[in-house]
């Protein structure tokens, strides 16, 4: 493992910080099926880290391990220099890890604003009684949270739909609202599960721009699963490649692009 105290520099000269998260020899089984087999990799502060591979490679299972939905039978998860034991997803969220989902998980009957506000729940400190009566600290906290949410709405350019019920929105805007809800939690680490899935070219370009802006302007570390290799190669600082639960590649986009095992298993480029 790399020394977590060491920073590094990307090939394009961008500074990447020390190791934020380490997956050490992770093995995950479902009965007799091994979804992840002895995989290790790290995620560094401030980078965009992609996890790629063919369908059934174990990518979503790995994201679920990172986010606390699954607990590996073997291996260790380290976050910010500390070993993380089994935790519930809400406890992981309180550590500063937020995520979006491959299948959109929004509340269709609620407005865009109210959906994004649910992302602030882990940051709210006033009790249920105070929140119900909406007075004192709860009122001040509500106003501060709404102000934060409005900034995210402006940032993602969704002001015109802020009061629209999510169920009425087209798919691409729903994806943007889900990103907004994750950002509302002010995550240190943002996990994106196929953020471009189902989008047209224009929507992908918009989402790519927002992901880069989140990383650059907020300093948010991002780990993403994505099948669009053009997007992965353009956005990512480093890429880890999985196939049938194994790690078959790990490095910069150029390293992965030229890795023959990755080419054979996933990229499908002919041998020289």
Q: Which two tokens stand for residue 132?
A: 């119900």
Instruction: Give the contacts of 179 (CB within 8 A, at least 6 positions apart).
Output: 100, 156, 192, 195, 207, 210, 214
Domain ranges across the chain? 1-96+187-272, 105-186
Q: Which CATH number fits domain 1-96+187-272: 3.40.50.300, 1.20.1250.20, 3.10.180.10, 3.40.50.261?
A: 3.40.50.300
Phi and psi for 222 in degrees, rounded to 5? -130, 135
Q: Which two tokens stand for residue 21?
A: 């998260």
Q: Which two tokens stand for residue 29?
A: 């089984």
Please compute Rg for the chain using Cα positions: 19
Separation CA 48–CA 63 (nearest Å): 14
Rounded to two decimals, the pTM is 0.85
Per-residue pLDDT of the chain (272 residues; tens, 9 = 90+): 344 456 666 656 666 789 999 999 999 999 999 999 999 999 999 999 999 998 889 999 999 999 989 999 999 999 999 999 888 878 888 899 999 887 777 888 999 999 999 888 766 654 444 455 555 566 677 778 888 999 999 999 999 999 999 999 999 899 999 999 999 999 999 999 999 988 899 999 999 999 999 999 999 999 999 988 889 999 999 999 999 999 999 999 999 999 999 998 887 654 44
> CATH homologous superfamily for 105-186?
P-loop containing nucleotide triphosphate hydrolases (3.40.50.300)
Separation CA 183–CA 118 (nearest Å): 11
Q: Do domains 1-96+187-272 and 105-186 have the same CATH topology?
A: yes
Q: Determine the length of the chain.
A: 272
Separation CA 123–CA 156 (nearest Å): 21
Minimal CA–CA distance to 194: which of 209, 184, 180, 179? 179
């Amino acid at each position: 493992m790399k020394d977590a105290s060491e920073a590094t520099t990307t090939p394009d000269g961008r500074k990447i910080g020390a190791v934020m998260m380490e997956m050490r020899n992770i093995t995950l089984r479902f009965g007799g099926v091994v979804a992840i087999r002895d995989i290790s990799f790290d995620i560094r502060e401030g980078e965009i880290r992609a996890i790629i591979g063919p369908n059934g490679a174990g990518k979503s299972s790995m994201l679920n391990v990172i986010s606390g939905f699954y607990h590996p039978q073997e291996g260790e998860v380290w976050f910010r220099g500390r070993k993380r034991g089994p935790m519930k997803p809400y406890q992981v969220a309180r550590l500063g890890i937020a995520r979006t989902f491959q299948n959109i998980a929004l509340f269709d009957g609620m407005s865009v604003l109210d959906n994004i506000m649910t992302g602030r729940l882990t940051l709210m400190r006033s009790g249920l009684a105070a929140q119900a009566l909406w007075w004192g600290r709860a009122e001040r906290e509500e106003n501060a949270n709404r102000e934060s949410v409005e900034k995210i709405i402006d940032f993602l350019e969704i002001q015109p739909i802020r009061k629209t019920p999510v169920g009425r929105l087209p798919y691409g805007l729903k994806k943007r609202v889900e990103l907004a809800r994750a950002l509302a939690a002010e995550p240190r680490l943002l996990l994106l599960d196929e953020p471009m899935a189902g989008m047209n070219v224009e929507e992908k370009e918009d989402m790519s721009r927002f992901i880069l802006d989140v990383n650059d302007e907020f300093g948010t570390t991002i780990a993403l699963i994505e099948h669009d290799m053009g997007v992965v190669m353009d956005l990512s600082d480093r890429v880890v490649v999985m196939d049938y639960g194994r790690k078959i590649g790990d490095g910069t986009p150029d390293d992965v692009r030229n890795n023959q095992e990755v080419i054979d298993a996933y990229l499908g480029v002919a041998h020289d």
